[in-house]
């Protein structure tokens, strides 16, 4: 199933609650929450207090993307704050399997993520253990960058691996998705689409409606 996961990184934080309600009303089911620590990536965003605060007001599925060093240190806290799925970078820890188990132990869904330069082989051994693989199509750290189309080859490779093993692992693409390239991203094999600026910049209703329409049309093919 194709899923749209709007990234609140590009939202207007003054109106965050309203904007979350708006995407929810338009039929969105996921919310992508980017956590950056200024160590794994150059920038710093938000963390558990923000997640806990919005958790009280919505039942959206919280897709939490940890761009932090040593994610294993914070799994319990993110789970408690209200994450439904915790995705971490394989480049950020030397304890990938332990971190996966820790997230599972908290009863949350698990995702692993690959930076643009990381080969698909880095995810291969964990495919059976995770619910989702996130293929970054920009260098993690900032919204509004241009999609690196070479990364879509990795999406296709992972899709082939998942199918060859008869798995139902979701494949998420994050970074530079637009109304114009979303179909290309889906064709490459992704089924969970993160969109920050393509949702929250300009008209949210037009953006979400167009993205969802294109995603449904692609699915019906
Ligand atoms: C970037 C974040 C993304 C970001 C995407 O490091 O992981 O989730 O919000 O923003 P856009 O869709 O604007 O490229
Ligand atoms: Zn993200």
The pLDDT tens digits of the residues spanning 131-189 come to 999 999 999 999 999 999 999 999 999 999 999 999 999 999 999 999 999 999 999 99
Give the residue-averaged pLDDT of 59-65. Answer: 99
Beta bridge partners of 63: 32, 85
Distance (Å) from CA 42 to ligand 1 centroid: 14
Distance (Å) from CA 147 to ligand 1 centroid: 10
Cα-only R_g, the chain: 16
Q: Is residue 221 predicted with pLDDT exceeding 90?
A: no
Token readout for 62 is: 């919280």
Instruction: Check if 34 is active-site.
Output: yes
Task: Sketch out the chain's domains with CATH numbers.
Answer: 3-220 (3.20.20.70)
Give the residue-averaged pLDDT of 52-74. Answer: 98
The active-site residue, picked from 157, 174, 180, 203, is 174
Phi first, then psi: what are they for 53, rounded to 5°? -70, -45
Give the residue-averaged pLDDT of 50-68. Answer: 98
> Looking at residue 118, what DSSP letter applies?
S
Give the residue-averaged pLDDT of 20-29. Answer: 98
> What's the 3-state SS for 167-211?
CCCEEEEECCCCCCCHHHHHHHCCCEEEECHHHHCCCHHHHHHHH
What integer pLDDT is reported at residue 46 of this predicted model? 98
What integer pLDDT is reported at residue 54 of this predicted model? 98
Instruction: Give the residue, 221 or 92, on which the prediction is more confident.
Output: 92
What integer pLDDT is reported at residue 220 of this predicted model? 87
Q: Is residue 22 predicted with pLDDT exceeding 90?
A: yes
Beta strand extents in the chain (DSSP E only):
3-6, 30-36, 61-67, 85-89, 109-114, 132-136, 170-174, 192-195
Residue-wise over 49-79: b if at least 16 C-beta within 10 A, else e? ebbeebbeeeebbbbbbbbbeebbebbeebb
Percent of the chain with pLDDT over 70: 100
What integer pLDDT is reported at residue 25 of this predicted model? 98
Name which residue sits closest to atom 4 of ligand 1, judged by CA.
143
Give the residue-averaged pLDDT of 90-109. Answer: 98
Alpha carbons within 13 angstroms on the beta-carbon side of residue 164 total: 8
Instruction: Check if 157 is active-site.
Output: no
Distance (Å) from CA 219 to ligand 1 centroid: 23
- How sure is the predictor about 99, in pLDDT bands with cuts at 50, 70 and 90? very high
The active-site residue, picked from 34, 37, 63, 170, is 34
Q: How far apart are CA 125 and CA 92, in angstroms?
A: 17
Nearest to 120 by CA among 94, 85, 152, 148: 152
């Amino acid at each position: 199933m194709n899923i749209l996961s709007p990234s609140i990184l590009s939202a207007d934080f003054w109106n965050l609650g309203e904007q979350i309600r708006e995407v929810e009303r338009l039929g969105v089911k996921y919310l992508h929450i980017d956590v950056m620590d200024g160590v794994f990536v150059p920038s710093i965003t938000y963390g558990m207090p923000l997640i806990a605060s919005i958790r009280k007001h919505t039942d959206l599925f919280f897709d939490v993307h940890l761009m932090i060093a040593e994610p294993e240190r914070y799994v319990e806290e993110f789970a408690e704050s209200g994450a439904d799925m915790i995705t971490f970078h394989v480049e950020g820890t030397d304890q990938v399997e332990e971190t996966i188990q820790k997230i599972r132990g908290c009863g949350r869904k698990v995702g692993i993520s690959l930076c643009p330069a990381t080969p698909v082989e880095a995810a291969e051994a964990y495919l059976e253990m995770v619910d989702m693989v996130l293929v970054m199509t920009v260098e993690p750290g900032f919204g509004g960058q241009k999609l690196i189309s070479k990364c879509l080859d990795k999406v296709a490779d992972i899709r082939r691996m998942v199918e060859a093993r008869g798995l139902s692992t979701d494949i998420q693409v994050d970074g530079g998705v637009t109304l114009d390239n979303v179909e290309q991203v889906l064709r490459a094999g992704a089924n969970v689409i993160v969109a920050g600026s393509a949702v929250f910049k300009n008209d949210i209703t037009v953006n979400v409606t167009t993205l969802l329409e294109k995603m449904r049309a692609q699915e019906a093919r």
